[in-house]
A = this chain, B = another copy of it.
């Protein structure tokens, strides 16, 4: 008897989604060049060849993951902007950004995309995504350029401490820094990152 459960036959759209989800995690952990289509396939529970077949190439898949990640941020921010409770817009946006930590891979994939501005295929996608987010918080949330810039800076710090896994460190300085980066609630940061 086989220890492997039978592979499921899925409609194309669902299979695409499951591959994108797996790819987001693997790309987030290892970066574009460091990730292999075989690791993504294993994470998605299918064969390596099928991953490539579904998206045409590793590069196309990465770009799709990148666009999805930016789209998730846009959605989360628009929802935060229209929430209109007793907090300020910036507070709501910050909260929304932190919540994205729970979906492992989104912020880390973006970090890797933004670091490859030199790549002829990936660079333009990264620039477009970054500017899209900047315009959203400036024009739709109404933050002046200076505040919008500061907000993005705080986001980049969150991405960095998340990638470095400083929240899992037992160094008191690391925890102090993570606490500052996430606006005070270390426990929440850790819980979201552990998810």
Q: Give the Cβ gap from A40 to chain B, nearest Cβ, in Å.
A: 15
Does chain B have a CB within 8 A of A33?
A: yes
Across the interface, do B31 and A115 meet the contact criterion of CB distance under 8 Å?
Answer: yes
Describe A's contact surface by its main secondary structure: helix
A138 to B135, CA, bound (A): 33
Q: Report which of B34, B114, B149, B164 forms a contact with A177, defined as CB distance below 8 A.
A: B149
Q: Give the Cβ gap from A169 to chain B, nearest Cβ, in Å.
A: 7
Across the interface, do B29 and A118 meet the contact criterion of CB distance under 8 Å?
Answer: yes
A180 to B160, CA, bound (A): 20
> Across the interface, which residues of B come within 8 angstroms of A164, CB to CB?
114, 117, 123, 126-127, 130
Q: Give the Cβ gap from A80 to chain B, nearest Cβ, in Å.
A: 20
If A123-B164, A177-B145 touch, whether A31 touches B130 (CB-CB below 8 Å) is: no
Q: Report which of B31, B126, B156, B177 forms a contact with A31, defined as CB distance below 8 A.
A: B31
Does chain B have a CB within 8 A of A185?
A: no
Across the interface, do A181 and B153 meet the contact criterion of CB distance under 8 Å?
Answer: yes
Across the interface, do B116 and A174 meet the contact criterion of CB distance under 8 Å?
Answer: no
Q: Report which of B127, B146, B171 forms a contact with A165, defined as CB distance below 8 A.
A: B127
Across the interface, do B149 and A31 meet the contact criterion of CB distance under 8 Å?
Answer: no
Q: Lowest 6 A-B CB distances belong to which pairs?
A: A149-B180, A33-B34, A153-B157, A156-B156, A33-B33, A117-B164
A-side interface residues toward B, CB under 8 Å?
29-34, 108, 111-112, 114-119, 123, 126-127, 130-131, 134-135, 138, 145-146, 148-150, 152-154, 156-157, 159-160, 163-166, 169, 171, 173-174, 176-177, 180-181
